[in-house]
Amino acid sequence: MIKKIPSDALKVGMFIHDLNVDWMNHPFVRNQFAVADDNVIAQIMATGVREVYIDTERGLDLADAPTVEEVNSELDAQLLKLAEEPPPIIKVSFAEELTRARKIHNQATNAVKTVMRDIRLGKAIELEGVAQVVEDITESVLRNSGALVGLGGIKDKDEYTFLHSVSVCTLLVTFAQSLGMDREMIRLAGTGGLLHDTGKMKVPNEILNKPGRLTDEEFAIMRTHPEEGWLILKDIPGMEEIPLEITLHHHERIDGTGYPHKLPGDQISRMAQMAAVVDVYDAITSDRCYHKGMPAPEGLRKLWEWSKFHFNPELVQAFMRTVGIYPVGTLVKLESSRLGVVIEQNEASMLQPKVKVFFSLKSNTYIQPVLVDLARPMGKGGADKIVGHENPEKWGINISRFLGEQT
C-alpha cells in the first residue's frame, strides 16, 4: 500500500516509493529506495523534501498515514472547487489561431536556438530578436492562448531545452495576462520566460543531456545555471530587472528550500514566484531523455500538492484557472465512452471545455472526428461529460495529429 507521510516521520526500514518533488530538487540517483540508515533520512530532510510516499509492502508502515488514493481524492476535490472560477476570455477560435501559432512557435524555437548558440560561442545576445518573439507570442495569447499552449505541450525530448524555454515564455505570458497585468509587465514576463534557462549553456552537454540521474557533482553543476544565466544577462545593454529576477530565482521555493540562495517567500518577487510555478509545470509534464512526462491534469494536481510548502498557493490556483483543469492538448475520457482531446477552454466552465472526439472505447476504433462543446445541451453539439483523463501512450495516440485536424 502506498501512503503519504511527513518526511520527519521517516524511520529506518521504511521504503521510499516517491520523494514527491520535481527531479531538480533532489540529488538521489533513484526516486524509490529503502531507508537504510539515519544518514538517508538526514539527506532527505536536508534537501527540503517535506512529504514523501512510502510503500508499506516493501517496508515499515505508519498506521494513521493517508493512502495515495485518499490523498488524490482530496486533491481532486479541491481542484474541482477551483474549477468553479471562470477561465480566460477567448477572442478567436482555436482553429483560427492554430496556423499562426504554429509559425510563431517555430520562429520562437529558432530564436531560442540562436540565443543559446551565441552564448556557447561567447557572442552577445541580440535582444531585438527576443523582443519580437515575445511580442508575437503575446499577440497570439491575447487572441487564443490555447493554441500556443497546446503546441507547447508537444515536445521532442532531444530539443527539450529549447522547447521548454518557448513553453515557459508562452505560459508566463498567458499567466501574466490572466492576472490583468499591463502589456509592459507581460512583455517583461515573456522575456524572462524565454531567457530563464540561458545559464544551462554553461553546463557541459554531457551533463545537460545525460540520459539518467546525475551524480552529486553533476547535480551541483546543473544547479549553477540560474546564477550563470544571471551573469550572462546582467551585462547586456537594455536588459531589465524582471527578466533578471526570473532567471536568477525561478528555482527558489517559498519555504526557503530552493536555490541558489534559499530565499524565503517574502524575498522572492511575485514574477519569480510565477515563473517557478510555470517552470515546474512544464518540466514535469514534458518527456525528457530520462523520464516520461505526466499528463497535464496530474501535473496540476502535483503543483497544488506541492504548493503546501514550495509555491504560493494563490498563484498556483490562479495558474490553474489560466490553463484550465483539463489544459488544451489533454486526452480525456467522456461519459459516452469516447476519447477526445481538449482544444479550447469554455468561458462558461473549466469543467466543460471544447473537445475534439475521435475514438470509441466501445468499438476500440477511431471514429470521424467531431467537435463537442461540453457546455452545450443535447442536440447542439454537447450533452456529454468528462469522467477522467487518459495517457495518450496507453492508446498509441498522437495528440498533435488531432490538435491540427479541422472538423
Which letter does DSSP use for residue 382 in this model?
Answer: -
The 10s digit of each residue's pLDDT in 175-187 is: 999 999 999 999 9
Q: Which set of grid coordinates corresponds to residue 251? A: 528555482
Give pLDDT, residue 382. 58
Number of neighbours of residue 221 by Cβ within 10 angstroms:
17
Sheet holding 365-373, edge to edge: 365-373, 349-360, 338-346, 331-334, 386-389
* Cα torsion through 88, 89, 92, 93, rounded to 10: 60
Q: Would you say residue 381 has pLDDT above 70? A: no
pTM comes to 0.88
CATH topology of domain 94-323: Hypothetical protein af1432 (1.10.3210)
Across residues 366-379, what is the average pLDDT? 84
Residue 380 vs residues 227, 243, 328, 371, 386: alpha-carbon distances, Å: 54, 46, 22, 11, 17
- Of 155, 137, 174, 151, which Cα lies nearest the Cα of 94? 151
Measure the CA–CA gap between 305 and 285, rounded to whole angstroms.
15
Give pLDDT, residue 170. 95
CA torsion through residues 79, 83, 85, 91, sign: positive
Could you give the 3-state DSSP secondary structure of residue 344?
strand
Across residues 219-240, what is the average pLDDT? 94
φ/ψ (deg, to 5) at 289? -70, -15
Q: Which residue has the cell 551541483?
A: 220
- Of 150, 91, 107, 53, which Cα lies nearest the Cα of 403? 150
Across residues 247-269, what is the average pLDDT? 95
When computed from its CA atoms, the radius of gyration of the chain, rounded to whole angstroms, is 21
